[in-house]
Every structure is written in structure tokens, then in C-alpha cells.
Amino acid sequence: MDPIHRPETLQRDLQFMALALREAEKAGDRGEVPVGAVLVLDDGRFFSAGNSVIGLSDPTAHAEILAIRAAACEIGNYRLVKSALYSTIEPCIMCMSAIIHSRVDRVVFGAFDPRWGGAGSIASLHQDLRLNHHPLVTAGVMEEPCKGLIRDFFRERRAGAVKIKDAPETAD
């Protein structure tokens, strides 16, 4: 049986995606876009993070990047061979580039990202033969709760925004 489809692999995927979801919820509570990620090394150590773009005033502080940075710092090497990265949403092009550069072997994500997704939605960097590394990608793990978290976050944001057409007229 293909190792990706073994019951123990699915169980592991669900376990780490649940942890990524918790990180996403914490990010949302901080006012960040609710995305969470977990990077798991082959020895079982793992590093989790939530989006921190706003809090750090850093456009690169996506959950995936922060998890990669933490793991690389811990092991003292940017090459994270035999590792897996779990993300609640399809990694964007920037994050997929970092995943490829850091030699992550496998990417597991929940919800697709039709606007920014770099693992199949708008680009398939993991399949680009011009690149030197091609991680395996598993999509749609716990897709509904991951998609729901993002959807609800943006619904609340839109509901709280004052729409121009509804704004009171000013007397000048």
C-alpha cells in the first residue's frame, strides 16, 4: 500500500491538521487571517505557528514560513529533509517557494486557496520540473473546518465594515 494512504498516515494527518486548526483559531483571535501550520520533523519534533503578519508588521510572517523558520533554527540547518508541513489553507506561492527551498518532503493542506494557492489553485510549484525539489502534496484534509474558519473570519470582517453606499452623507 502507498505510504500516503495507510491508516496510520491518515491518523497522523488528522492529528497534525487539528493542531494547525488550533493555531489558526489563535491567529484569528489576534485579528490575523486565521491560518495555522505545523512542521513535523522525521524524529517527531514539531513546530506550530499561526499567521502573524499584522502583529509582526511583516508581510512574510505567514504561518508556514514561521513554522519553517522555527524548525530550521532548532536544527541549525535550512534543509528540512524528511519533514512534513501541515497548513489549514493551501500554501501561497511565497510559502510553496520556501517549502521547496527548505526541502520539505510532504505538504498537507485543508482548504484550497483560489486567489493565492501555489500547490494547485493558481500555480503548481511542487510539479514544476524546472525546480530542484518536488514535495508530495495531499489536499483537502479536514477541508470543511479549515474552509469554515476562513469563510467565517471574512464574513465577520465584511459585516463590520462600513459600506460606502450605506455611509451617511456629509453636509459640506
Q: Which residues are catalytic?
A: 64
Q: Alpha helix (H) ranges present in the chain?
A: 7-29, 53-56, 63-75, 93-101, 143-160
Q: Determine the 3-state secondary structure of 146 from DSSP.
A: helix
Q: Phi/psi of residue 39, each to 5°? A: -105, 125
Burial grade of 154 (CB within 10 A; 0-12, 13-18, 19 or more): exposed
Residue 2 in contact with residue 9, Cβ under 8 Å? Answer: no
Residue 78, classified by CB atoms within 10 Å of its CB into exposed (0-12), middle (13-18) or buried (19+), is middle
Strands 106-111 and 36-40, sheet pairing:
unpaired
- Given the DSSP bridges, would you call strands 36-40 and 84-89 parallel, antiparallel or unpaired? antiparallel
